[in-house]
A and B are shown apart, each in its own frame.
Chain A
Amino acid sequence: DADVTQTPRNRITKTGKRIMLECSQTKGHDRMYWYRQDPGLGLRLIYYSFDVKDINKGEISDGYSVSRQAQAKFSLSLESAIPNQTALYFCATSDWDHEQFFGPGTRLTVL
């Protein structure tokens, strides 16, 4: 089984809909991250969490929210999706920031 799993792997939705992306990990790491990846812009950090009670905004948190339900689970929500949120979304975990382990990604399309 994969150490970091993301569901769904692909999602197509419409403008204004609420979307939740889920991430689970079996690595036992305290730190979890959500990134989005866009062509020409690379990986950009949306939110990160150092433990269950610690949630922090990244560089592009507007329009997103997160929930850390347990050490192993970190969810990303788009309250009202818009087309420029179409991107590839990655969850990652780490013990130390420089060695992050990424999930397989969720390809989200907002029409």
Chain B
Amino acid sequence: QKEVEQDPGPLSVPEGAIVSLNCTYSNSAFQYFMWYRQYSRKGPELLMYTYSSGNKEDGRFTAQVDKSSKYISLFIRDSQPSDSATYLCAGFTGGGNKLTFGTGTQLKVEL
């Protein structure tokens, strides 16, 4: 079992829809949770990160972590075609340890 599981999609939604992207994880030691966005033929870029449980909002994006159920979510409001990308979640225990990535969910927002 991978430490971070993510539905690969693809997920196709109409412009303006609310998008929910989700991950589950198995490592209870994860303290930080990240969402990276990767456009086609580009490297991933950090979108948001949260520490421990709770919500974090940044514009149209909201990251949510529920450590009791080991569930990570990213919500995108008023989705735009420019949001079309692969979204990777990741967990991090802190200290000298490494990021553990999910496999990514491919999102397409259609006009």
| Interface residue ranges, A against B (CB under 8 Å) | 4, 33, 40-45, 48, 50, 58, 90, 92, 97-105
Contact = CB atoms under 8 A, between A and B. Distances in A.
B43 A104 contact: yes
Interface residues of B, dominant DSSP: loop
Interface residues of B, number: 23
A102 B102 contact: no
Given A42-B6, A98-B92, A99-B49, 10 more contacts: A42-B88, A42-B102, A42-B103, A42-B104, A43-B44, A90-B44, A98-B99, A99-B34, A100-B46, A104-B42
A92 B46 CA distance: 12
A4 B44 CA distance: 12
Interface residues of A, dominant DSSP: strand
The 8 closest A-B pairs by CB, nearest first: A102-B43, A42-B103, A43-B101, A98-B32, A98-B92, A42-B101, A102-B44, A103-B43
